[in-house]
Amino acid sequence: MKLVFEKRDPVPMSYRVVSPVLAVLLAFLLGTVFLTASGFSPMKVYAAMFSGAFGDWYGISETIVTAIPLMLCGLAVALSAKMLLWNVGAEGQFHMGAWGAAAVALSMPDAPAWQVLPLMVLAGVAAGAAWALLAAVPRAFVGVSETITTLMLNYVAIYWIEYLVHGPWRDPKSLNFPLSAPFSDAARLPMFGYTRIHWGLIFAIVAAIAIDLALGRTKWGYEVKIIGESPRAARYAGMSIERNIIITMAISGALAGLAGMAEVSAIAGRMTRQLSPGYGYSAIIVAWLGKLNPYGVLLVSILFGGLLVGGYSAQFLGVSAASVNMLQGLMLFCVLATEALGRYKVRLVPTGAKGASQGGHGEGEAEANG
């Protein structure tokens, strides 16, 4: 018997819907191998994770809290990826957004909420956008790979925050902990009820709707779509690729910056070094798992929020925090694998049969296209 891969085009809709679910299940399955090997009962660990993340209202609310920055950063990554721009710098833009918001909050401790909060949003969005533009401008005009520059700018942003909280911004009353002074109550983004779910959720939902509408119903969104599919066709149609790189990256950075603003204002309430357990990086996986669809990103963010929150519960069983990262990684791996596999029909063919004797499928195709 022999495995034969045949290209299929188009990929059936049903597969495209099923494949992310398949990928997640496959990742958990592969995870059992790893967990068993390190001496845990996979079922127990998964059960602990699930009940930690979704078992009660507290768990669910915490899952959503964790999902908020993932949603906004995931939207940021997905939007730029629509244009084949790999913004792996959401983490840095998130930190710069938090910085911008914190700078406003700390400099106007006595201002009322209606003044300080809008300014914090504005500063966070602007700082995130500016950080993305640092990579977008060289990409647009001289072709510098944005993958490298956005990644490197992450470190600059993170160390900038470290410097501030260890130095100029350190609160004298913080007993030498690297923390800024707490924000005034007015500078805290409101939360809903007794949960920690905050306005960031609204930001994320509005952003997803706005992106969906903009991509589907505006001339800008149309250009993004064409450029993402075929830069040559876009240039031929008279679109300015440079301009769109800059606009798209700026919006992408702004979304990640907004995530930083919301996190520092609502959750932390002061600048710290520990704002993000890597939201900006997880966002890359979120964006892919969500198939770059804005609503898909929202859904997957909740799954990933649950993964993080559940991961804390699993740690009570002695599972290391890195296992959660491993599961995330496995998911990305499985997403890419199922996606690639989806382009083929896989069949088992008895050896010696006609189909199998034609050598590699590459040649078979060449012939079919000739």
- The residues, any chain, with a CB within 8 Å of residue 291's CB and separated by 6 or more, are 16, 20
Nearer to other proteins, 6 or 56 (CB): 6
Nearest approach, Cβ of residue 225 and other proteins (Å)? 7
Contacts with 30 (C-beta within 8 Å, 6 or more apart), sequence order: 330, 334
Least Å distance, CB 367 to other proteins, is 6
What residues have CB less than 8 Å from 282, skipping those under 6 apart? 70, 73, 304, 308, 328
Q: Would you state the structure tokens that stand for residue 67, as one six-digit string?
A: 């999902």
Q: Does 15 bind other proteins (CB under 8 A)?
A: no
Spatial separation of the C-alpha atoms in residues 217 and 290, rounded to whole Å: 21
CB of 240 to other proteins, least distance (A): 7
Q: Is 345 in the site for other proteins (CB under 8 A)?
A: no
Binding to other proteins (CB under 8 A): which residues in 224-263?
225-226, 229-230, 232-240
172 exposure class (CB count in 10 Å sphere: 0-12, 13-18, 19+): exposed
Instruction: Based on the shown chain and the rule CB under 8 A, indicate whether residue 7 belongs to the binding site for other proteins.
Output: no
- The answer to whether residue 352 forms part of the interface with other proteins (CB under 8 A) is no
Binding footprint of other proteins, residue count (CB under 8 A) = 27
Residue bearing tokens 């059992």:
32
Query: Is 218 near other proteins (CB under 8 A)?
Result: yes
Query: Position 348: which residue type?
Result: L
Tokens of 273: 């070094």
Q: Does residue 359 touch other proteins according to CB under 8 A?
A: yes
Residue identified by tokens 């602007």 is 126
Does the protein bind other proteins through residue 143 (CB under 8 A)?
Answer: no
Minimum distance, C-beta of residue 353 to other proteins, in the bound complex (Å): 16
> Rule CB under 8 A: which residues touch other proteins?
9-10, 216-222, 225-226, 229-230, 232-240, 359, 363, 366-367, 370
